[in-house]
Amino acid sequence: MDSALERQISAASRSVEEARRLAYHDPTRLGALVEQISVLADLRQKEGDFRKAESLYKEALFRAQELKRPDPDLMTGIYSLLAHLYDRWGRMDQAAAFYEKALHISEDNGLESTEKVATIKNNLAMIFKQLRDYDKAERYYHEALETFQAIDGDQSARVASVYNNLGVLYYSRLDVDRAQIMHERALTIRQSLKEGQMDPADLSQTFINLAAVYKAAGDFQKAEASIDRAKRLRSGINGFHPNPRRSASLLIDKNL
């Protein structure tokens, strides 16, 4: 194992143990435990040990379910974390099933217009795209987009990410014109964001996607310029540092 990763896992394991101890005595701290578990689970996935990551999330799910009054928001988040894990593990059917469980819980508890649910719909759309159910993928992307626009307005990193994903979806269906429109919208938004609001890796991915679209359209000069911009951005990106969270993060489709 890489020594830096080993140190990260060791530190994250200690944080989980402390969070377990606190949550045992105070159930209101269960959300904090889920956050620490998410960090350790991400590192286990980075290591390639998906079973240990699964075990961690199942522990979180069990603890949340055994409460006298389970928190539907937290339950939604944990199911989405498990879905995200199964997606990365290559278990697409399980991933879709767990995202759908998360959606059912949120809808039953009046949480369907939240950013967490919009993120789940975006991620579920990516899975349906991989399963070649393009109509479902498009529908979920548009539902996610509408929610993020209602919460953030039209100019946000999350709105740009969904435009990116719609562009990849249209490209996979050989609809190059619509793909170009979506990616150019994503680029316009990302270039307008202030420092700290925009992830350089996301902007780099937009240029990579645009390069593929321009190449398909026969504009090789624009394609080459986009690749050059992507390379310059990627040269300044640092290593892997997972952030604590209580639900799945918003995924960006990189599979053109």
The pLDDT profile of the chain, 256 residues, written as one tens digit per residue, is: 688 999 999 999 999 999 999 999 999 999 999 999 999 999 999 999 999 999 999 999 999 999 989 999 999 999 999 999 999 999 999 999 999 999 999 999 999 999 999 999 999 999 999 999 999 999 999 999 999 999 999 999 999 999 999 999 999 999 999 999 999 999 999 999 987 777 888 999 999 999 999 999 999 999 999 999 999 988 877 666 678 888 999 998 887 7
In this structure, are 7 and 63 located in the same domain? yes
Domain carrying residue 172: 112-256
Please check whether residue 132 lies inside any domain of the structure.
Answer: yes
- Per-residue model confidence (pLDDT) at position 199: 83
In this structure, are 164 and 46 located in the same domain? no
Residues sharing a CB contact under 8 Å with residue 124, sequence separation 6 or more, in sequence order: 83, 96, 99, 100, 103, 140
The CATH number linked to 233 is 1.25.40.10
Domain final position from 33, 67, 101: 67
Please check whether residue 223 lies inside any domain of the structure.
Answer: yes
In this structure, are 152 and 205 located in the same domain? yes
**pTM of the model as a whole:** 0.91
In this structure, are 58 and 137 located in the same domain? no
Please check whether residue 247 lies inside any domain of the structure.
Answer: yes
Residues sharing a CB contact under 8 Å with residue 48, sequence separation 6 or more, in sequence order: none
Please check whether residue 82 lies inside any domain of the structure.
Answer: no
Please check whether residue 78 lies inside any domain of the structure.
Answer: no
In this structure, are 207 and 126 located in the same domain? yes
In this structure, are 53 and 117 located in the same domain? no
In this structure, are 250 and 124 located in the same domain? yes
In this structure, are 128 and 44 located in the same domain? no
Please check whether residue 180 lies inside any domain of the structure.
Answer: yes
Number of domains into which the chain is organized: 2
- Per-residue model confidence (pLDDT) at position 44: 96
Please check whether residue 79 lies inside any domain of the structure.
Answer: no
- Per-residue model confidence (pLDDT) at position 93: 95
In this structure, are 250 and 123 located in the same domain? yes
- Per-residue model confidence (pLDDT) at position 223: 95
DSSP of the chain, one letter per residue? --HHHHHHHHHHHHHHHHHHHHHHH-GGGHHHHHHHHHHHHHHHHHHT-HHHHHHHHHHHHHHHHTSSS--HHHHHHHHHHHHHHHHHHT-HHHHHHHHHHHHHHHHHTT-TTSHHHHHHHHHHHHHHHHTT-HHHHHHHHHHHHHHHHHHH-SSSHHHHHHHHHHHHHHHHTT-HHHHHHHHHHHHHHHHHSPBTTB-HHHHHHHHHHHHHHHHHTT-HHHHHHHHHHHHHHHTT---------SSPPPP-----
In this structure, are 137 and 248 located in the same domain? yes
| Interior angle at CA 36, CA 102 and CA 235, nearest 5 | 95
